[in-house]
Structure 1
């Protein structure tokens, strides 16, 4: 009697030639993948790395662009602020002749800060020849109708406690011009002052500004004489009994770029 496949023992069936392709679960064995898994992972991570590097480069470029825009905005803002501070000032190169500037030209615009907005209290902490410290419109004190800017709340309060001490001598005009140049009058002021050319003399204790180095040097040749002369002239123009503060320089200002050293 012939033996069928079903009659053969299970072990023999499994060992038969046809069973070599059978999987343990009874199905067909899986064929090898057509590509290497290792190669796939290598390619995947390489692409991912390139993507991340590209994203980082894009972000860096954006940051650089933003920084450049910020610098341009800041420079534009500074230029705008400087333009605001200097707007309304009298051209000093037209002020060498007394008929070209008047007291009203130099002191009439009280919306401008005195001496271009320098912190007049800060001078007392500076060494001789140092550049002045500029204040901010956010820290302002009024003296009569005039505005003084300050760089700190402490300096503002110091000024308010004793403004007469810190107000620049002779209105903030060139001290040598007031003391020694005979063509100025109470209605024709204009010996321009440069806030970076300044002195605080022992025994006087007042802030003096000058047009440039040369008149400051001339003033120091005879300081006592010039102080006495300047006080007499200024007080004659603006006597204390007239009431109210003497005029202060808001618009007739010099700088090394604007004024000839004369």
Structure 2
């Protein structure tokens, strides 16, 4: 049996959650992070894509706040490189899936599905989407550049 006071609490919680998700849907962060997280690129070191050619997990021991989001790196050298020019090492479109942005939408960017092209890092949603992306990435980049940042506003 639910008492009137419990019903009011449950109703308040429901309304609060509904408002939270409605607000989240209205305006998206310029940097993709997982739900209930403020960590960019799922904690992967964005500099490592450029220097090592692979996805490498970062550490909370080497982190910085950039664009109101925490960015992690595997070591102090990569952290220093990022600090010197964060825009160069941050993924395009805030780490959202580049293919989705080209299609005037947003989706999570998977740090294991990535491409470096002309000195820029692009993430994709998954391997299937990345295969579509790779077939025509130059044209998709031109379209995504036109769509960004409108897709998050």
Instruction: Say whether the fold is shared (TM-score over 0.5).
Output: yes
Bigger radius of gyration among the two:
1
Whole-Å Cα distance in 2 between the matches of residues 217 and 168 of structure 1?
18
Q: TM-score, normalised by structure 2?
A: 0.72
Residue 215 of structure 1 corresponds to 129
Whole-Å Cα distance in 2 between the matches of residues 143 and 158 of structure 1?
13
Q: Do the aligned partners of 1:118 and 1:134 also contact (CA within 8 Å) in 2? A: yes
**Structure 1: 5+ residue runs without aligned partners?**
1-98, 240-262
Whole-Å Cα distance in 2 between the matches of residues 234 and 114 of structure 1?
18
Offset of 1:112 from its aligned partner? 2.6
Out of 21, 39, 49, the residue aligned to residue 123 of structure 1 is 49
**Closer, same or farther in 2 for the Cα pair 1:236/1:166, shift >3 Å?**
same
- Match of 2:82, SS state, is helix
Are residues 1:197 and 2:123 paired? no
Q: TM-score, normalised by structure 1?
A: 0.44
Whole-Å Cα distance in 2 between the matches of residues 220 and 108 of structure 1?
24
- Match of 2:81, SS state, is helix
- Calculate the aligned-residue CA RMSD, in Å: 2.6
Offset of 1:218 from its aligned partner? 0.9
**Structure 2: 5+ residue runs without aligned partners?**
1-21
Q: Do the aligned partners of 2:45 and 2:57 also contact (CA within 8 Å) in 1? A: yes
Residue 76 of structure 2 corresponds to 153
Once the two structures are superposed, residues 57-106 of structure 1 have per-residue CA deviations (whole angstroms, 9 ceiling, x without a partner) of xxxxxxxxxxxxxxxxxxxxxxxxxxxxxxxxxxxxxxxxxx9x7326x6
Once the two structures are superposed, residues 201-223 of structure 1 have per-residue CA deviations (whole angstroms, 9 ceiling, x without a partner) of 1x3x2111111111111112112
- Match of 1:176, SS state, is helix
More strand by share: 2
Q: Number of aligned residue pairs: give it.
A: 127
